[in-house]
Structure 1
């Protein structure tokens, strides 16, 4: 099953790296692809949609229309972490 999420706050490859790493740890997630240009995260597998939405919220990348200042701040932190780990 493939599910697509239109999200906020994807700024760079660091963001994409953090999102992909975190979502691949969720039960049932087999593949994650991200299109930064249109702010979409596509997840393939047998995962629960709510689990993916909750993880994206926790990371600071909520679905469009659900952004808050705290989520935006979280996205900057996860962006920085993603930048550090994508160069490993």
Structure 2
């Protein structure tokens, strides 16, 4: 199954790089396409439980799904994730 979700704090290619690298490591997730301009990502998943796993991973990185709380801690995490993504491009 394929889905598209909107995430918060996704601003640039560094953010997109971090998200892509972290999601590809999850079991059952493939065909990841992160679009920084739309703050969105599309991916294919094998099981319904994979959606929850993706949302949790995004929250850990500082990119909560639109509609979820976007705390100062999430924003701080996203800055670190962004910088890491820029260094690893």
Q: What's the TM-score once normalised by structure 2's chain length?
A: 0.91
Match of 1:84 among 59, 83, 87: 87
5+ long unaligned stretches in structure 2: none
Counterpart in the other structure of 1:45: 45
Cα deviation for residue 78 of structure 1 reads 0.4
Counterpart in the other structure of 1:56: 58
May I ask how many residue pairs the two structures share in their alignment?
86
Farther off after superposition, 16-25 or 43-52: 43-52
Indicate conservation of the 8 Å contact 2:63/2:78, yes or no.
yes
Provide the aligned C-alpha RMSD in A.
1.0
- Structure 1 residues 1-88: aligned runs within 5 Å: 1-47=1-47, 48-66=50-68, 67-86=70-89
5+ long unaligned stretches in structure 1: none
- After TM superposition, where is structure 1 displaced by more than 4 Å over at least 4 residues in a row? none
